[in-house]
Protein backbone atom coordinates (compact mmCIF):
# COMPACT_ATOMS: atom_id res chain seq x y z
CA UNK A 1 0.00 0.00 0.00
CA UNK A 2 1.47 3.43 -0.94
CA UNK A 3 2.42 5.68 1.98
CA UNK A 4 -0.04 8.26 3.28
CA UNK A 5 1.04 11.91 3.09
CA UNK A 6 1.22 14.02 6.24
CA UNK A 7 -2.13 15.66 6.93
CA UNK A 8 -4.11 17.32 9.71
CA UNK A 9 -7.84 17.42 10.31
CA UNK A 10 -8.64 20.59 12.24
CA UNK A 11 -11.77 21.74 14.01
CA UNK A 12 -14.47 22.50 11.42
CA UNK A 13 -12.56 20.91 8.52
CA UNK A 14 -14.39 18.94 5.81
CA UNK A 15 -11.88 16.45 4.40
CA UNK A 16 -12.64 14.27 1.38
CA UNK A 17 -10.42 11.18 1.10
CA UNK A 18 -10.11 9.95 -2.48
CA UNK A 19 -7.98 7.50 -4.44
CA UNK A 20 -8.14 4.21 -6.36
CA UNK A 21 -9.39 0.93 -4.91
CA UNK A 22 -6.78 -0.66 -2.66
CA UNK A 23 -5.11 2.64 -1.80
CA UNK A 24 -5.99 2.26 1.88
CA UNK A 25 -8.85 4.74 2.28
CA UNK A 26 -11.02 2.51 4.49
CA UNK A 27 -7.98 1.28 6.41
CA UNK A 28 -6.98 4.87 7.16
CA UNK A 29 -10.49 5.68 8.38
CA UNK A 30 -10.49 2.62 10.66
CA UNK A 31 -7.14 3.70 12.10
CA UNK A 32 -8.54 7.16 12.79
CA UNK A 33 -11.57 5.55 14.45
CA UNK A 34 -9.32 3.43 16.67
CA UNK A 35 -10.45 0.13 15.13
CA UNK A 36 -7.01 -0.66 13.66
CA UNK A 37 -3.45 0.23 14.58
CA UNK A 38 -1.23 1.80 11.91
CA UNK A 39 1.55 -0.53 10.74
CA UNK A 40 3.77 2.48 10.12
CA UNK A 41 3.69 6.23 10.54
CA UNK A 42 2.20 8.18 13.42
CA UNK A 43 -1.43 8.98 14.20
CA UNK A 44 -1.99 11.66 16.84
CA UNK A 45 -5.47 12.35 18.24
CA UNK A 46 -6.37 15.59 19.98
CA UNK A 47 -7.31 15.31 23.67
CA UNK A 48 -10.81 13.95 24.10
CA UNK A 49 -11.11 12.34 20.66
CA UNK A 50 -10.01 8.89 21.81
CA UNK A 51 -12.71 8.82 24.52
CA UNK A 52 -15.96 9.01 22.58
CA UNK A 53 -15.10 12.11 20.56
CA UNK A 54 -15.16 10.32 17.20
CA UNK A 55 -18.32 9.24 15.37
CA UNK A 56 -17.88 6.55 12.71
CA UNK A 57 -20.28 5.59 9.90
CA UNK A 58 -18.84 2.52 8.10
CA UNK A 59 -19.79 1.16 4.71
CA UNK A 60 -23.16 -0.56 4.89
CA UNK A 61 -23.54 -4.23 3.99
CA UNK A 62 -26.71 -6.38 3.77
CA UNK A 63 -26.49 -7.36 7.46
CA UNK A 64 -26.45 -3.74 8.67
CA UNK A 65 -29.28 -2.76 6.32
CA UNK A 66 -31.46 -5.57 7.71
CA UNK A 67 -30.89 -4.71 11.37
CA UNK A 68 -34.18 -5.43 13.29
CA UNK A 69 -34.35 -2.43 15.64
CA UNK A 70 -36.28 0.80 15.84
CA UNK A 71 -34.77 4.07 14.66
CA UNK A 72 -34.66 5.32 18.27
CA UNK A 73 -32.79 2.19 19.39
CA UNK A 74 -30.23 2.53 16.61
CA UNK A 75 -29.60 6.21 17.37
CA UNK A 76 -29.37 5.63 21.12
CA UNK A 77 -26.76 2.92 20.56
CA UNK A 78 -24.40 5.75 19.64
CA UNK A 79 -24.11 6.33 23.40
CA UNK A 80 -23.09 2.69 23.99
CA UNK A 81 -19.37 3.36 24.49
CA UNK A 82 -20.05 5.84 27.29
CA UNK A 83 -22.81 3.69 28.85
CA UNK A 84 -20.42 0.85 29.71
CA UNK A 85 -22.10 -1.94 31.67
CA UNK A 86 -25.12 0.10 32.75
CA UNK A 87 -28.30 -1.76 31.65
CA UNK A 88 -30.25 1.41 30.78
CA UNK A 89 -29.62 4.75 29.09
CA UNK A 90 -29.64 7.84 31.27
CA UNK A 91 -32.05 10.71 30.75
CA UNK A 92 -29.19 12.76 29.30
CA UNK A 93 -28.36 10.03 26.77
CA UNK A 94 -32.00 9.73 25.73
CA UNK A 95 -32.17 13.52 25.29
CA UNK A 96 -29.02 13.47 23.16
CA UNK A 97 -30.57 10.82 20.93
CA UNK A 98 -33.77 12.84 20.61
CA UNK A 99 -31.78 15.99 19.78
CA UNK A 100 -29.77 14.13 17.14
CA UNK A 101 -32.97 12.85 15.51
CA UNK A 102 -34.46 16.35 15.53
CA UNK A 103 -31.25 17.78 14.08
CA UNK A 104 -31.37 15.37 11.15
CA UNK A 105 -35.17 15.57 10.63
CA UNK A 106 -35.86 11.93 11.49
CA UNK A 107 -37.76 12.38 14.78
CA UNK A 108 -41.06 11.29 13.11
CA UNK A 109 -39.34 7.98 12.25
CA UNK A 110 -38.34 7.18 15.85
CA UNK A 111 -40.65 4.15 16.19
CA UNK A 112 -40.13 2.83 12.65
CA UNK A 113 -38.08 -0.32 12.09
CA UNK A 114 -34.66 0.52 10.70
CA UNK A 115 -34.77 -2.16 8.01
CA UNK A 116 -38.02 -0.73 6.60
CA UNK A 117 -36.42 2.63 5.76
CA UNK A 118 -35.16 3.89 2.43
CA UNK A 119 -31.42 4.12 1.82
CA UNK A 120 -31.37 7.86 2.41
CA UNK A 121 -33.34 7.52 5.64
CA UNK A 122 -30.99 4.80 6.90
CA UNK A 123 -27.98 7.04 6.29
CA UNK A 124 -29.63 9.83 8.27
CA UNK A 125 -30.22 7.39 11.14
CA UNK A 126 -26.58 6.26 11.12
CA UNK A 127 -25.41 9.85 10.99
CA UNK A 128 -27.63 10.68 13.98
CA UNK A 129 -26.17 7.65 15.79
CA UNK A 130 -22.63 8.90 15.16
CA UNK A 131 -23.55 12.38 16.43
CA UNK A 132 -25.44 11.08 19.47
CA UNK A 133 -22.41 11.25 21.76
CA UNK A 134 -20.10 14.21 22.23
CA UNK A 135 -18.71 13.72 18.73
CA UNK A 136 -16.14 16.27 17.49
CA UNK A 137 -14.89 14.33 14.45
CA UNK A 138 -17.24 12.50 12.10
CA UNK A 139 -15.78 9.74 9.91
CA UNK A 140 -17.83 8.46 6.96
CA UNK A 141 -16.90 5.61 4.60
CA UNK A 142 -18.64 5.87 1.21
CA UNK A 143 -21.90 7.11 2.79
CA UNK A 144 -23.74 7.64 -0.52
CA UNK A 145 -23.13 4.17 -1.99
CA UNK A 146 -26.43 2.77 -3.26
CA UNK A 147 -28.33 6.05 -2.96
CA UNK A 148 -30.14 7.52 -5.94
CA UNK A 149 -29.06 10.99 -7.20
CA UNK A 150 -31.81 12.82 -5.29
CA UNK A 151 -31.01 11.08 -1.99
CA UNK A 152 -27.28 11.63 -2.58
CA UNK A 153 -27.74 15.38 -3.14
CA UNK A 154 -29.95 15.56 -0.04
CA UNK A 155 -27.34 13.75 2.05
CA UNK A 156 -24.53 16.06 0.90
CA UNK A 157 -26.71 19.03 1.84
CA UNK A 158 -27.18 17.49 5.27
CA UNK A 159 -23.41 17.08 5.68
CA UNK A 160 -22.88 20.73 4.75
CA UNK A 161 -25.33 21.71 7.49
CA UNK A 162 -23.55 19.53 10.02
CA UNK A 163 -20.16 20.91 9.00
CA UNK A 164 -21.40 24.50 9.10
CA UNK A 165 -22.28 23.97 12.77
CA UNK A 166 -18.58 23.36 13.47
CA UNK A 167 -18.43 19.59 13.12
CA UNK A 168 -15.20 18.26 11.59
CA UNK A 169 -15.81 15.65 8.86
CA UNK A 170 -13.49 13.18 7.12
CA UNK A 171 -15.22 11.23 4.35
CA UNK A 172 -14.02 8.49 2.02
CA UNK A 173 -15.67 8.88 -1.37
CA UNK A 174 -15.43 7.89 -5.03
CA UNK A 175 -17.98 10.56 -5.96
CA UNK A 176 -15.60 13.44 -6.70
CA UNK A 177 -18.14 15.50 -8.62
CA UNK A 178 -20.73 15.52 -5.87
CA UNK A 179 -18.57 15.61 -2.75
CA UNK A 180 -15.60 17.88 -3.44
CA UNK A 181 -17.57 21.11 -3.81
CA UNK A 182 -18.01 21.40 -0.05
CA UNK A 183 -14.57 20.07 0.93
CA UNK A 184 -12.10 22.35 2.70
CA UNK A 185 -9.35 19.71 2.27
CA UNK A 186 -8.70 16.84 -0.14
CA UNK A 187 -6.53 13.89 0.86
CA UNK A 188 -5.51 11.77 -2.13
CA UNK A 189 -4.13 8.27 -1.51
CA UNK A 190 -2.35 6.08 -4.03
CA UNK A 191 0.52 6.74 -6.47
CA UNK A 192 -0.25 10.48 -6.59
CA UNK A 193 -0.71 10.87 -2.82
CA UNK A 194 -1.17 14.44 -1.65
CA UNK A 195 -2.97 16.64 0.87
CA UNK A 196 -4.51 19.86 -0.40
CA UNK A 197 -5.97 22.51 1.88
CA UNK A 198 -8.30 24.61 -0.23
CA UNK A 199 -8.58 28.35 0.30
CA UNK A 200 -12.33 28.44 -0.29
CA UNK A 201 -15.19 25.99 -0.41
CA UNK A 202 -18.98 26.05 -0.48
**C-beta separation of 9 from 168 below 8 A:** yes
More confident residue, 201 or 54: 54
More confident residue, 68 or 74: 74
The class that CATH gives domain 1-46+136-202 is alpha beta
- Mind listing the pLDDT tens digit for each residue in 21-44? 889 999 999 999 889 998 888 888
More confident residue, 187 or 91: 187
Q: What pTM value is reported for the model?
A: 0.84
How many other CB atoms are there within 10 angstroms of residue 74's CB atom?
21
| Ranges of each domain in the chain | 1-46+136-202, 68-134
Least confident of 50-59, 137-146, 155-164: 50-59
Mean pLDDT of 6-25: 91
- Mind listing the pLDDT tens digit for each residue in 157-201? 889 988 998 889 999 998 877 778 889 999 999 888 999 998 655
> How far is the C-alpha of 67 from the C-alpha of 191, rounded, in Å?
38
> How far is the C-alpha of 56 from the C-alpha of 39, rounded, in Å?
21
How many other CB atoms are there within 10 angstroms of residue 87's CB atom?
5
Closest Cα partner for 13 from 167, 142, 173, 193?
167
On the question of pLDDT at 202 being above 60, the answer is no
Amino acid sequence: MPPCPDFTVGAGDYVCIVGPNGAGKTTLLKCMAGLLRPLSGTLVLAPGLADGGIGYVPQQGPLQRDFPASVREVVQSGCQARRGWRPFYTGLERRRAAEAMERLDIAPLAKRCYRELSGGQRQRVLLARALCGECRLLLLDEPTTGLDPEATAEFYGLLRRVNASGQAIAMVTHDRSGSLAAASCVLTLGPDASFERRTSHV
